Amino acid sequence: MKKNDLRRQVNEAIGACQEKKAEEISVLELEKNSGAFTDYFVVCSGTNPRQIQAISDEVEERLEKAGLRPTHVEGYKQAEWVLLDYVDFVVHVFSEKARKYYDLERLWKSAKRLEPAELGTKRKQRRATARNAKKKLA
């Protein structure tokens, strides 16, 4: 898969998380030599089981519209840690308690932490850079 296509899909998942008011969204770009089974982790938190399920549902719906279905979904009924596996990236939706307990960011500390905005396409990034430059001039 092309890197831009993958980034666009990850960005779509991030947008779905944001739409449902997920908290503490972070993106981990896993190193090729780290033994990782995927390229990216999208990690976020929900405040209660219903919100966790709503975030998961929104991610699935948005990516399905883009022609992508998860190969595996785990933890949906319990809604403490929902894992949506899209092969090239994995979305983790945690309860606050489960996120602190499993601490994926520490576990995968060798991964590069990205801001959600960093995954936009180059075209979007150029537009944002141009907007910021105009604001500074004004």
Q: Give yes or no for a contact between 64 and 12, defined as CB atoms under 8 angstroms apart.
A: no
User: Among 28-42, 67-81, 108-122, where is mean pLDDT lowest?
Assistant: 108-122
Phi/psi at 112 (nearest 5 deg)? -80, 125
Closest CA to 84 of 98, 97, 96, 74: 74
Which domain range does residue 7 map to? 3-137
Residue 21 sits in a domain whose CATH number is: 3.30.460.10
Q: pLDDT by residue (tens digit) across 30-60?
A: 877 666 788 899 999 999 999 999 999 999 9
Which tokens in the block code for residue 101? 């307990």
Element (H, E) at 42: strand 40-46
pLDDT band at residue 124 under the 50/70/90 scheme: very low
pLDDT band at residue 118 under the 50/70/90 scheme: confident
User: Among 19-23, 25-29, 126-130, where is mean pLDDT lowest?
Assistant: 126-130
Quote the number of domains for the chain: 1
pTM for the structure as a whole: 0.81
Percent of the residues in the chain that have a pLDDT greater than 70, as a whole number = 81
H-type alpha helices, 20-103: 49-65, 96-102
Question: Which residue type sits at 2?
Answer: K
